[in-house]
Structure 1
Amino acid sequence: MSGAGPRTVRAGRRTVRVHRPHKVLFPGGGGTKEYTKGDLVDYYRSVAPFMLPHLRGRPLMLERHPDGVDGPRFMQKNTPDTYPEWITRAEVAKEGGTVRHTVCDDTATLLYLADQAALTLHRWLSRAGRVERPDRMVFDLDPPGDSREDFAAVRETALLLGELLDELQLPSALMTTGSRGLHVVVPVTGRHDFDEVRTFARDVADTLAAGHPDRLTTAARKKDRGDRLYLDVQRNAYAQTAVAPYTVRARPGAPVATPLAWSQLDDPRLDARRWTIADAVEQARTDPWADVMRKGRTLGPARRRLDALMSS
């Protein structure tokens, strides 16, 4: 997938120079394959048609690993002045000032970020211009460990949460995190601010946990969770991020955060790192989310249904 020397990659009207494409970012061993920067660039180029709709217009936080997954990492919010002028920026308010986030609107930007060893793209749940109004709500199903039994609990919880969201008449979609758990993503209209969305998500999580107190928890402190699965809704807040669909995670074997269909929960091969840069594009071509992300709902009717459940 990659050459031994410097190379250039065409992306639409632009050409992106890939420096040291032979550099190993994901060392092999222990049953995992080795992948280079060139492999990362080739993956992002292939997956761009499926990934960009989930990135366009959204401020990003970049997780960079210049020396590969075994080296130091740093989280980059502010866009360096050295980045090309054609890369979109979004200046958003923070306490005491502003941050100029990178926005990935096209394939050339995606490849440029791969050349910068930005392995993982963490996206805002809102868009530039309406940063205080999210159009995504995310439930992070975070197991206490990384065993097959732990992931079995993630599967079961995803089904329970999906059933509750169906009862609330909210569309939802599944995604592996590429790490340990699953994300359940709900499209919303962008009419509500982050406080409203997070409060609603917390009430949904509390309702689910109350029905299964021995298995589920919304306790933010690890010491209060025991061996229960954590229903994390903290990403539904201003300036918080969630891993983007089809982004690569900084773990051995280059696993990918991958959308999947609800029916795929029955796949015995499924775990949080089921897909890697070797096969995530094949999964993307199945269009597992279809049109669900275009079905954003306001939370008013769902809130009334949830309140009725909570009071029953």
Structure 2
Amino acid sequence: MADAVELEVGGRTVRLTHPDKVFFPERGFTKLDLARYYAAVAPGILRALRDRPTTLERYPDGLTGEWFYQKRAPKSMPDWIPTAHITFPSGRSADEMCPTEEAAVVWAAQYGTLTFHPWPVRRTDVDRPDELRIDLDPQPGTDYADAVRAAGELRAVLDEFGGLRGFPKTSGGRGLHVFVPIEPRWTFTQVRRAAIAVGRELERRMPDHVTIKWWKEERGEKIFVDYNQTARDRTIASAYSVRPRPHAPVSAPLRWDEVPDAHPRDFDLATMPARFAELGDVHADMDDHRWSLEALLELAAKDERDHGLGDLPYPPEYPKMPGEPKRVQPSRAKKPKPAEES
């Protein structure tokens, strides 16, 4: 077993220790396989991560070992990888790594990083998101085909409200993510409000197939539009990230015409490099676009004005937010006492 190897990536040399350590026992993929994968798709994943504060999902001993999310930049991080200072809803803060070179991704793989979780902001302005991220999350009893059906209607909604263009990708599981590049002039709260408006419109159009209910007991066998993935400090796995599942799937960027016939298991650590070599990054032009959220925010205002539909619950670890309804699971909410008979 080799003690270390060196990989040349983007003009830099990255040293990889214990390259033969098995990271995915079911497939036999090693740490070196992981690093070579990220080197093969480096231009694509760098496009997804460039200048973004990024949390690392690390498995230092592979999939069967302990794992953790690393938000603060590792002390061992080289000085050619910049950072950004970010603040969490708790009030705490951290300096997170912000990849600007392909070698940064392979360097992170050396430390057992499987999945990269970038913020929807750039390090030049960490309070103004430049992506609206829609997470179509299949609930029990539904699958990828149901997410595809919802994604088709989502595409129509985005086009109707502002001529927005979404960029779809597999989640690496059963779901779909659709990212929309936006002008970086809205707050996290406003972007979340736009996501809620999208979810409500989808729910109106597909009431038997889509839900925006936060509480799992209310969702049923539907696709959940997880609007809270747009809340501050919530992140979604980047395009090309390897996901921590036994068959080593990856989050695969797709063209819209591929969405209906694709299957999440088609894309993994072994197959994606060949696809990338043939097609390149199918989302390569994503950063060339910036759309306005004004139409979606007008829809949100109309929902509140005409239908009394205001804010929705935040995740449990968040402080109570202005205008937020009671953060109580419906089955545990206190029932009003019946009125006494006169």
Separation in structure 2 between the aligned mates of residue 289 and residue 84 of structure 1, nearest angstrom = 29
Deviations 1:194-215 (A, max 9, x none): 1111101101101111222222
Matched, 1:232 2:226: yes
Matched, 1:59 2:36: no
Matched, 1:272 2:264: yes
Matched, 1:200 2:194: yes
Separation in structure 1 between the aligned mates of residue 186 and residue 17 of structure 2, nearest angstrom = 43
Aligned letter for 2:150?
Answer: T
SS at match of 2:123: coil
Offset of residue 301 of structure 1: 3.9
Deviations 1:64-99 (A, max 9, x none): 011211222101101122222222121222344420
Aligned letter for 2:155?
Answer: G
1:165 pairs with one of 153, 158, 165: 158
SS at match of 1:38: helix
Change (3 A) 1:75 1:290: closer
SS at match of 1:266: coil
Separation in structure 2 between the aligned mates of residue 251 and residue 52 of structure 1, nearest angstrom = 22
If the length of structure 1 is used for normalisation, what is the TM-score?
0.90
What does 1:1-312 align with in structure 2 at a 5 Å threshold? 4-28=2-26, 33-94=27-88, 95-145=90-140, 150-168=143-161, 169-267=163-261, 270-284=262-276, 285-286=278-279, 287-304=281-298
Query: Is the 1:171–1:292 Cα contact (8 Å) retained in structure 2?
Result: no
Query: Is the 2:83–2:97 Cα contact (8 Å) retained in structure 1?
Result: yes
> How large is the Cα RMSD of the aligned pairs?
2.1
Offset of residue 303 of structure 1: 3.9
Separation in structure 2 between the aligned mates of residue 273 and residue 137 of structure 1, nearest angstrom = 26
SS at match of 1:252: coil
> Which piece of structure 1 moves more, 79-88 or 40-49?
79-88
Separation in structure 2 between the aligned mates of residue 193 and residue 96 of structure 1, nearest angstrom = 17
Query: Is the 1:178–1:274 Cα contact (8 Å) retained in structure 2?
Result: no
Offset of residue 14 of structure 1: 2.5
Separation in structure 1 between the aligned mates of residue 260 and residue 11 of structure 2, nearest angstrom = 43
Separation in structure 1 between the aligned mates of residue 10 and residue 283 of structure 2, nearest angstrom = 26
Change (3 A) 1:110 1:306: same
Aligned letter for 2:151?
Answer: A
Change (3 A) 1:166 1:5: same
Instruction: Identify the structure with the greater strand proportion.
Output: 1
Change (3 A) 1:293 1:80: closer
Separation in structure 2 between the aligned mates of residue 100 and residue 306 of structure 1, nearest angstrom = 34
Query: Is the 1:189–1:297 Cα contact (8 Å) retained in structure 2?
Result: yes
Separation in structure 2 between the aligned mates of residue 11 and residue 215 of structure 1, nearest angstrom = 45
Give percent identity, aligned residues only. Answer: 35
Matched length: 302
SS at match of 2:196: helix
Change (3 A) 1:118 1:292: closer
SS at match of 1:186: strand
Aligned letter for 2:130?
Answer: D
If the length of structure 2 is used for normalisation, what is the TM-score?
0.83
Separation in structure 2 between the aligned mates of residue 283 and residue 115 of structure 1, nearest angstrom = 24
Aligned letter for 2:102?
Answer: T
Separation in structure 2 between the aligned mates of residue 195 and residue 309 of structure 1, nearest angstrom = 16
Deviations 1:30-76 (A, max 9, x none): xxx22100000000011101211111110011100112112221011
Aligned letter for 2:116?
Answer: L
